[in-house]
């Protein structure tokens, strides 16, 4: 009887812990019942080394994490970086707040460790931007990463017009 009670309490604890941990992240999705105009937010990235990339992305939309990201990932389990374009629709015509992020991303932990051992520090910038997306317009996150100063911004795809202001973050 005691073993059964012990196992039941462990199972209950495990289920509660998994439930609590899985609810920590809230993902952004356009509301299912939304049928109005949309705009598109796109991330960008640049391979700076075979195992490292500069990633400029939308980190949050209205406080929620997007499901897709241009993260550097190993292709076929190797050390090389593979980048993908990520985008997501957002409702147009009303103000939204997004969090933009610029930073280094590695294909594997070993590449990041090697950079640290060689004295290289990761450049980073992040901040919030509130703007009103235009219907049918695509926007792209761009940025620069440097030891001295890094920045991230949003621009209209195609024209390159700056949306809001550049977010500057010093190392």
Within a domain: residue 16? no
Look at residue 9 and tell me if it is in a domain: no
- What does the alpha-carbon distance between residue 129 and residue 57 come to, in Å, rounded to a whole number? 13
The torsion angles phi and psi of 17, rounded to 5 degrees, stand at -60, -45
Q: Work out how many domains the chain is built from and give that number.
A: 1
Helix, strand and coil content of the chain, in percent to the nearest 5, comes to 20, 45, 35
Lowest mean pLDDT among 20-24, 125-129, 150-154: 20-24
Among candidate residues 88, 169, 170, 81, the one with its CA nearest the CA of residue 128 = 169
The reply to whether 10 falls in a domain is no
Q: Which of helix, strand or coil describes residue 160?
A: coil
If one counts every other C-beta atom within 10 angstroms of the C-beta of residue 33, the result is 5
Phi, psi angle pair for 30, to nearest 5°: -60, 135
Q: Which two tokens stand for residue 103?
A: 């930073």
Note whether residue 13 is domain-resident. no
**Quick check: is 7 in a domain?**
no
| Region 27-41 average pLDDT | 89
Q: Is there a domain that residue 122 lies in?
A: yes
pTM (2 d.p.): 0.76
More confident residue, 2 or 169: 169
Residue 146 resides in a domain: yes
**CA distances (Å), origin 141, targets 7, 48, 62, 130, 152:** 50, 17, 16, 14, 7
CA 59 to chain centre: 4
Quick: pLDDT tens for 67-121: 766 554 555 556 677 777 789 999 999 999 999 999 887 766 666 566 666 666 6
Counting every residue, how long is the chain? 171
The answer as to whether 3 is a domain residue is no
Write out the residue range of the structural domain in which residue 140 sits: 28-170
């Amino acid at each position: 009887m005691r073993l059964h009670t012990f196992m039941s309490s462990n199972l209950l604890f495990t289920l509660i812990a998994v439930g609590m941990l899985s609810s920590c992240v809230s993902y952004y999705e356009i509301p299912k019942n939304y049928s109005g105009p949309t705009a598109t937010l796109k991330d960008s990235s640049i391979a700076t080394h075979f195992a490292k990339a500069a990633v400029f992305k939308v980190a949050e939309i209205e406080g929620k994490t997007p499901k897709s990201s241009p993260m550097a990932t190993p292709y076929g389990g190797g050390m090389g970086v593979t980048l993908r374009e990520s985008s997501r629709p957002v409702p147009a015509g009303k103000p939204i707040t997004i969090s933009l992020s610029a930073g280094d991303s590695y294909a594997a932990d070993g590449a990041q460790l090697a950079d640290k051992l060689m004295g290289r520090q990761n450049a980073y910038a992040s901040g919030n931007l509130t703007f009103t997306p235009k219907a049918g317009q695509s926007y792209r996150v761009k940025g620069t990463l440097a030891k001295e100063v890094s920045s991230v911004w949003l621009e209209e795809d195609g024209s390159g017009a700056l949306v809001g202001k550049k977010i500057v973050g010093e190392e």
